[in-house]
Each structure stands twice: as C-alpha cells, then as structure tokens.
C-alpha cells in the first residue's frame, strides 16, 4: 500500500512539476553548474581512503552544526565490531530515495561525494535545484554501511562476509540494518554506490571508465518493469550529465541478476535501484576528479527526479551506453620488444603488460605488488601508458632492484650497463627460473638498445610497473584535464 501511495505521489509530483514549474535546465548546463560549484561546497578529504569511521562521524557532526535542521540522524545500526552506522534523513517531499555507500569497505569514493552533496543542499538556499530536491524528495542516506571493512580498507566486513551478497541470509548486522531501513521507509528509488576495477574501458573504443551505470534488474529474466524503466532513464540522465565532463569514460556495468545481492534484491522488493560504480581516471588528483564526477551525478540525477525532467529522458538510450570492457586495459604496455624470456631460450618478439595495483582490491584476490601480467601478442590490450620498444631487447632481472640508481649500480658492478648479447644472455640464464618473464614476475625488466657495432647499452627499465631511466618516453591516452567550462 505504501509503495502504491509513493508511486502515486511521484506521478503527481512529476505532472505538477511539468505543469507549474519553470522548465528544468538541460543536463549539460546543469552539469556545468554543478561542476563549477563543487569546489565551493566541497568538504570531502583529498584522499577518500583516509576517511574512516571516526572521521566520518566528525564530518557529519560538523555538517549538522553548520546547517541546523537540515540533517536528521534517524537511526543507527551497529557493525559486527560495534561501530555505529548512521542513517540520515534530509528533505520532506513525497518521493523517498535511499542512497547507501561503502557496503564494501574499500570503495569510498561515493562516501566523500555524499558529504559534498549534504553540504551543497545546506549551503544553497538560493539554488532552485537544491531546494527542489529538499522539497520534492525525502533522502535516506547511509554514507558508510561497512565501517569495519573501511577501517581495514578491505571489501568484506569483520565477519569476512561480503555484505553485498547477504541480502537473503542476512547473516551480517550491516545487511540486516540496510534491509530494515528499506522496509521501514519503502523508498521509490535506490542508489547503490560502489567502486569498480579501475582498469576497464568504456566499450572497445572508449577510454578508462570513470563512471559505470546499471539499471539493476529484479528477476532472472531481466524483466523491464515501470521501476526498471525509471532507473534506465536515471542511468541515461547520469550519462548525459557526466559524459561532457568525461568524454568516452562512461559505461554500462555488465552484471547479471544475482538474487542474493542487495541491489537486485532492492529492485525485487520494490525499490527501483541504480548502481553507480566509480572506476579510474589516471593522472594528477585522480581521486578528487572522481569524487567531483560523483557529486555531479548524484546532485544532477536527484534534481531530475525532483523537477520531473526524468520523465522526458528516453529509456531506449540505455542500451547505447557502452558496456564495461574487461581485460582490455592495464597500467603499462611495452610493445614490439625482443624478449629474453629465460630458460636459455633465444629471444623472440613480444609485447609486455604490467599492472600497478591501486587502493581498491575488488572482488578478486588482491595483487599487492606491481608485476608483469601478460606476455605475447597484446594487440587487444591498451595501456594507460604505452612504449613502442621497437629495436629494444627486454631482459627480466630478478634481483630486488631498489630504485633506478641502485639498479644501475648493481648492473655496473657486473659489467652489464654496456655489453654484448652473449654475455647478457649468459647472465640472465645464470639466474634460472627467477629470470623467467611470466605473469606474476615482479623484478625489473631491463631495456637495451644495440648500436651498429652490436654493443648493447641500457636505456631504461620497467621498475615496479613504471618506466624509468629518462631515455625512453611512454605515450598515454591523453589524460589531460576535465572539460574546461570556463
């Protein structure tokens, strides 16, 4: 009954907004405004991973003091280890929206963006968009569902349970709290906020994914219902907001229905849910750029619900959002080398791919050290940085390398800064299996160039997944800066 009333209220809200309100701003214009306002309303830390439970509680208390009456702490859950989990309420409109973040403890980007969203709503009394959100919607926000995991920067909670796979059994106190809040307030919309593997591309032709979106299905058949159609519209609106700021960096999350997952269960229970996954955007201030994009996505899409413009968005554009392309992006690709692979085999032509892990581990075993991840024909793979190594000889070198200067000194002591190929191959072969270039190899890869006389001279190396040495320059995918609206 409550869901029916909520849906009826939403219909009246949208119709009334369309009839009596000023026309809503186009998505690109709204994105520009939100992008520009973010530095003025930002309260999030420079490093989202530094925001732990204690710092979050301090930030929320500060916001409550700064904006009296804006934020109500309606309920507190308790984590497995006894940390309080705040649930917040803002606004007084007829349409309920539930947003929850960091159910995986190592996925904090949206948590920071939610703090900035709260401050924007409180600090913008003259902004019609912010005031419409507060007057037309009631927001229920859990900014950090898994404080125990956040404390350890790990995916799972203190029970080592993946909360996002606990929607049926409800073995975790955090999962029970989220389910109880949803059942209590029966929101029309849900926002499931995560981080994803940063080494994904937006389709076969796109760049590194910054934001991935999914209209979360509610059954195995992926049936389109009025609710999932609305979240498809919501995903399209988020893309319209974010794409001008991050061209070629918005994708569609490639996930099937999973009954025990919370997003799928929310949709099945009647709360139509949009999944927003934050990826990567390599370069200076990457974390802040991603928080800023999340802020634009959240503030802009909530405004679209509040002002009724969501109903004008074409759900049919949802399949046009390019899918996440997996196994297509890595940190560094060195192309066209002659590789000394090891095992006393002759050099052969190959490409080399290296991965430098970040703070986010994802749902697979975490790689803790930079390493070589693939050898061979890697034309399918794109690097955030790439080196055309045509004419270079690549040599795996397993001795713990330290830094570039220490590596050079070690090689100099062996007479290997400038040498001939036979001596170099003998030195590599003497290392045995430790000098085999294979996935998981974490040593240095030395890069030599031969002169006309056949002397090999060290020009650089890949050290801990990064190109060093100064004589070789990698190219990137044009990271640059976000679109300059000014």
What is the rounded average pLDDT of the residues 420-436?
95
> Would you say 179 and 186 are in contact if contact means Cβ atoms under 8 Å apart?
no
Residue 65 in domain? yes
Does 380 lie in the same domain as 301? Answer: no
CA distance 236 to 221: 22
The number of distinct structural domains making up the chain is 2
Task: For residue range 10-64, list pLDDT tens digits in order.
Answer: 443 444 433 344 456 689 999 999 999 999 999 999 999 999 999 999 999 999 9
Listed residues 294, 325, 356: the one ending a domain = 325
Give the pLDDT band of residue 226 (cuts 50, 70, 90): very high
Residue 436 in domain? yes
Expressed in angstroms, the distance from the first to the final Cα of the chain is: 49
Does 403 lie in the same domain as 264? Answer: no
Does 347 lie in the same domain as 311? Answer: no
Mean model confidence pLDDT for the chain: 91
Q: How many CB atoms lie within 10 A of CB 289?
A: 19
CA distance 56 to 115: 9
Model confidence pTM above 0.85:
yes
CATH code, 451: 2.30.40.10
Phi then psi for residue 4, to 5 deg, are: -65, -45
Task: For residue range 440-485, list pLDDT tens digits in order.
Answer: 999 999 999 999 999 999 999 999 999 999 889 899 853 334 443 3
Does 113 lie in the same domain as 129? Answer: yes
Listed residues 268, 295, 325: the one ending a domain = 325
Listed residues 276, 292, 325: the one ending a domain = 325
54-82 burial code (b ≥16 CB/10 A, e <16): eebeebbeebbeebeebbeeebebebbee
The pLDDT value recorded for residue 23 is: 57
Does 264 lie in the same domain as 353? Answer: no
Does 400 lie in the same domain as 268? Answer: no
> Would you say 241 and 27 are in contact if contact means Cβ atoms under 8 Å apart?
yes
Q: Which of 214, 343, 313 is nearest to 266 (CA)?
A: 214
Residue 22 in domain? yes
The tokens of 475 are what? 């190219």
Q: How far is CA 213 from CA 234, 244, 326, 413, in A?
A: 9, 16, 15, 54
Residue 485 in domain? no
Between 366 and 329, whose confidence is greater?
329
> Residue 404 pLDDT > 70, yes or no?
yes
CATH code, 48: 3.40.630.10
Does 95 lie in the same domain as 149? Answer: yes
CA distance 46 to 184: 35
Does 340 lie in the same domain as 299? Answer: no
Does 158 lie in the same domain as 36? Answer: yes
Does 278 lie in the same domain as 139? Answer: yes
CA distance 281 to 208: 6
What is the rounded average pLDDT of the residues 221-231?
97
Residue 361 domain boundaries: 329-476
Does 159 lie in the same domain as 118? Answer: yes
Residue 128 in domain? yes
Does 410 lie in the same domain as 317? Answer: no
Task: For residue range 280-338, list pLDDT tens digits in order.
Answer: 999 889 999 999 999 999 999 999 999 999 999 999 999 999 999 998 999 999 999 99
Residue 481 in domain? no
């Amino acid at each position: 009954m409550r869901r029916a009333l909520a849906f009826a209220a939403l219909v009246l809200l949208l119709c009334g907004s369309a009839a009596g309100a000023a026309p809503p701003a186009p998505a690109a214009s709204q994105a520009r405004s939100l992008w520009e306002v973010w530095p003025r309303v930002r309260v999030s830390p420079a490093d989202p991973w530094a925001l732990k439970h204690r710092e979050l509680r301090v930030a929320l208390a500060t916001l409550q003091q700064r904006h009296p009456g804006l934020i109500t702490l309606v309920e507190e859950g308790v984590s497995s280890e006894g940390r309080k989990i705040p649930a917040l309420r803002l606004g007084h409109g007829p349409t309920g929206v539930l947003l929850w973040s960091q159910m995986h403890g190592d996925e904090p980007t949206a948590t920071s963006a939610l703090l900035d969203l709260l401050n924007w709503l409180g600090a913008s009394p003259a902004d019609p968009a912010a005031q419409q959100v507060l007057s037309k919607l009631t927001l229920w926000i859990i900014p950090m569902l898994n404080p125990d995991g956040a404390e350890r920067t790990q995916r799972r909670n203190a029970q080592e349970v993946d909360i996002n796979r606990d929607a049926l059994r409800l073995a975790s106190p955090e999962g029970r709290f989220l389910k109880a809040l949803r059942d209590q307030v029966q929101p029309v919309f849900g926002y499931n906020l995560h981080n994803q593997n940063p080494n994904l591309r937006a389709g076969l032709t796109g760049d590194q994914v910054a934001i991935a979106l999914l209209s979360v299905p509610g059954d195995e058949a992926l049936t389109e219902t009025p609710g999932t159609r609305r979240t498809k519209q919501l995903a399209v609106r988020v893309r319209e907001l974010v794409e001008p700021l991050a061209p070629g960096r918005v994708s569609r999350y490639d996930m099937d229905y999973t009954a025990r997952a919370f997003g799928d269960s929310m949709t099945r229970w009647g709360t139509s849910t949009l999944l927003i996954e934050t990826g990567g955007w390599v370069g200076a201030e990457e974390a802040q750029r991603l928080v800023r994009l999340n802020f634009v996505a959240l503030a802009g899409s909530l405004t679209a619900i509040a002002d009724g413009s969501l109903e004008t968005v074409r759900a049919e554009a949802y399949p046009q959002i390019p899918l996440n392309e997996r196994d297509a992006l890595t940190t560094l690709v060195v192309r066209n080398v002659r590789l000394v692979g090891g095992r006393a085999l002759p050099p052969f032509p190959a490409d080399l791919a290296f991965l430098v892990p970040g703070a986010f581990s994802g749902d697979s075993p975490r790689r803790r050290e930079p390493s070589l991840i693939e050898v061979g024909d890697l034309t399918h793979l794109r690097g955030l940085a790439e080196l055309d190594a045509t004419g270079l000889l690549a040599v795996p070198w397993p001795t713990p390398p330290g830094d570039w200067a220490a590596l050079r000194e070690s090689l100099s002591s062996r007479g290997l800064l400038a040498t001939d190929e036979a001596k170099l191959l003998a030195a590599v072969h003497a290392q045995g299996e430790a000098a085999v270039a294979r996935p998981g190899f974490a040593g240095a890869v030395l890069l030599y160039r031969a002169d006309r006389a056949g002397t090999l001279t060290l020009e650089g190396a890949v050290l801990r997944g990064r190109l060093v040495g100064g004589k070789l320059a990698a190219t990137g995918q044009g990271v640059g800066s976000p679109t300059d609206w000014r």
